[in-house]
């Protein structure tokens, strides 16, 4: 009985202690929890290797999983499209997976699927190439297919015809998509049609109908050389293992002279003007407001990231909280600086309800003017925390890491750029934000593109007295609707 009573007493004591401990651990819900310090990014060393033909190889070993990610970066994209051949880089890239080496399109796709791998060509504005994701056990076979696609594409005429129809279909669809209409017009207003940034990367009806297989082959033969390329590699490999395999697959690829490309100068917007594209019956108005921004290698890069996060680069940004949360004009409003090798655009944008187009435009202009003033300490801290605390998520997979390394390659950034990113963001001050805002955002000198129902929105926009209004039709922006059957 004494033993039994002792057990009961001990149990009651433990229960009391547990309840007291639980009560002491109750969270304080009266205020948000304090954020910890941004995590320090620690990566394995970036290794710089080279094949016998001069092809640079950037390797980062990652041995946690038996996977390999590879990206061939060729310094040529739509910005290198010859005059009168816009869309060439884009369609040439798409055709690279439609038959390569000794395999036609279906045979190549079947061989890749059999390995459980992914091999995809791509084309941007200044780069093209091929990416590979494969299990380590299938690396040799996948690498052979990767080399065929990168070095020996067939560019079959029948597949070109299919791609041509797909892209013409896309152009047809754009006529019914206010978002696409607004983007095309905004780029053309800022850059003009003589600059590659001012025309769609997929081309237009005239160029698409004119392309022949020889055009695609010529683009590939001009730019795809080891001295114009870099191979980025991330995964469960070491230099001793991977270099012989790369030599076998890519070592016979020959260097050659590559022409340099020059582009027309870019002129900044000098006045505020509205370009109103009539889309009768549109339930929403697409709004684009902006001007020429800045190139990626600007010394103001980090300050601009913080500035844009405050203005329109996050859910809690000023633009989104104003137009979405406060007024309910849109599902989302934001802004961005599009960093490129040449000065890309700065744009603030949203799709708003037709009947509040003028009100939304007024709120846009209010926020663009307000961002020129000093920002609050709490707002600055929130923006820097947003950028730094989410940065490590860019390194969760071998593909994400390869994408980050590709940025180092394209812009010739130092190896310590990735580990120093957080420090540079945290060093941005309120004065930095205000300085770059005044330097790059000028509400009085902006292009404003609106795609919507002119009959419903024109008077309200005019009453804002923001500047002259140039009215346009969809066909004036995109051209006439293509007809797929050329015989009609």
Q: pLDDT (tens digit, 9 = 90+) per residue, 462-477? A: 999 999 999 999 999 9
How far apart are alpha carbons 477 and 345 in whole angstroms? 19
pLDDT digits (tens, 9 = 90+) for 44-65: 999 999 999 999 999 999 999 9
Rg of the chain over all Cα atoms, to the nearest angstrom: 27
Q: Is residue 265 part of a domain?
A: no
How far apart are alpha carbons 367 and 369 in whole angstroms? 5
Q: Is residue 353 part of a domain?
A: yes
295 and 190 fall within a common domain: no
Q: Is residue 292 part of a domain?
A: yes
229 and 277 fall within a common domain: no
Q: Is residue 10 part of a domain?
A: no
Neighbours of 19 (CB within 10 A): 10
223 and 299 fall within a common domain: no
68 and 125 fall within a common domain: yes
233 and 306 fall within a common domain: no
Closest alpha carbon to 202 in 279, 346, 93: 93
351 and 436 fall within a common domain: yes
Q: What is the CATH number of the domain that holds 198?
A: 3.30.830.10
321 and 459 fall within a common domain: yes
Q: Is residue 20 part of a domain?
A: no
98 and 152 fall within a common domain: yes
> Containing domain of residue 241, as a range?
47-250
Position 488 scores a pLDDT of 42
Name the token pair of 190: 């800022």
Domain boundary among 217, 250, 283: 250
Q: Is residue 23 part of a domain?
A: no
Using a pLDDT cut of 70, give the percent of the chain over it: 93
Domain count, the chain: 2
322 and 180 fall within a common domain: no
Say if CB 60 and CB 405 are below 8 A apart.
yes
184 and 279 fall within a common domain: no
The pTM assigned to this predicted structure is 0.90
Rounded average pLDDT over 350-354:
98
Q: Is residue 40 part of a domain?
A: no
Residue 27 Cα distances to 23, 33, 35, 258, angstroms? 9, 9, 15, 64
Position 344 scores a pLDDT of 97
Position 45 scores a pLDDT of 94
234 and 365 fall within a common domain: no
pLDDT digits (tens, 9 = 90+) for 394-409: 999 999 999 999 999 9
Q: Is residue 29 part of a domain?
A: no
pLDDT digits (tens, 9 = 90+) for 9-31: 556 655 555 555 555 556 677 77
- Residue by residue, DSSP assigns 314-333 as STTSHHHIIIIIIT--EEEE
């Amino acid at each position: 009985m004494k033993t039994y009573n002792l057990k009961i007493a001990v149990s009651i004591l433990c229960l009391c202690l547990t309840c007291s401990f639980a009560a002491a651990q109750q969270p304080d819900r009266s205020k948000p929890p304090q954020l910890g310090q941004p995590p320090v990014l620690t990566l394995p060393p970036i290794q710089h290797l080279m094949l016998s033909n001069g092809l640079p190889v950037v390797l980062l070993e990652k041995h946690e999983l038996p996977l390999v990610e590879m990206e061939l970066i060729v310094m040529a994209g739509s910005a290198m499209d010859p005059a009168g051949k816009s869309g060439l880089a884009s369609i040439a890239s798409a055709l690279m997976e439609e038959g390569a080496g000794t395999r036609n399109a279906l045979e190549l796709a079947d061989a890749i699927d059999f390995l459980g791998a992914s091999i995809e060509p791509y084309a941007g504005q200044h780069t093209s190439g091929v990416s590979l994701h494969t299990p380590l056990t299938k690396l040799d076979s996948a690498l052979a297919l990767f080399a065929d696609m990168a070095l020996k594409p067939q560019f079959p005429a029948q597949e070109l015809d299919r791609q041509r129809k797909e892209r013409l279909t896309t152009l047809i669809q754009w006529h019914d998509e206010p978002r696409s209409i607004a983007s095309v017009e905004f780029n053309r207003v800022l850059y003009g049609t003589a600059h590659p940034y001012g025309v769609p990367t997929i081309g237009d009806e005239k160029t698409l109908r004119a392309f022949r297989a020889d055009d695609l082959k010529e683009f590939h033969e001009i730019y795809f050389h080891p001295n114009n390329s870099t191979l980025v590699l991330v995964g469960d490999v070491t230099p001793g293992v991977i270099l012989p395999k790369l030599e076998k697959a890519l070592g016979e690829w020959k260097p050659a002279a590559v022409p340099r490309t020059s582009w027309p100068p870019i002129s900044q917007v000098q006045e505020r003007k509205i370009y109103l594209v009539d889309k009768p019956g549109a339930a929403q108005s697409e709004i684009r407001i902006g001007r020429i921004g800045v190139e990626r290698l600007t010394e103001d890069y980090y300050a601009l990231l913080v500035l844009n996060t405050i203005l329109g680069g996050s859910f809690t940004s000023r633009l989104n909280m104003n137009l979405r949360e406060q007024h309910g004009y849109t599902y989302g409003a934001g802004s961005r600086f599009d960093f490129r090798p040449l000065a890309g655009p700065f744009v603030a944008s949203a799709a708003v309800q037709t009947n509040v187009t003028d009100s939304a435009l007024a709120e846009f202009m209010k926020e663009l003017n307000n961002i020129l003033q000093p920002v609050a300490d709490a707002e600055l801290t929130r923006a820097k925390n947003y950028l730094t605390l989410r940065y490590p998520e860019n390194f969760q997979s071998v593909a994400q890491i390869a994408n980050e390394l590709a940025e180092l390659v394209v812009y010739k950034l130092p190896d310590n750029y990735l580990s120093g990113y957080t420090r540079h963001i945290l060093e941005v001050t309120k004065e930095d934000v205000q300085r770059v805002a005044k330097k790059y955002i000028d509400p009085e000198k902006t292009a404003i593109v609106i795609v919507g129902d002119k009959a419903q929105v024109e008077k309200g926009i005019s009453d804002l007295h923001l500047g002259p209004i140039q009215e346009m039709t969809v066909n004036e922006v995109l051209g006439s609707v293509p007809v797929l059957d050329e015989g009609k």
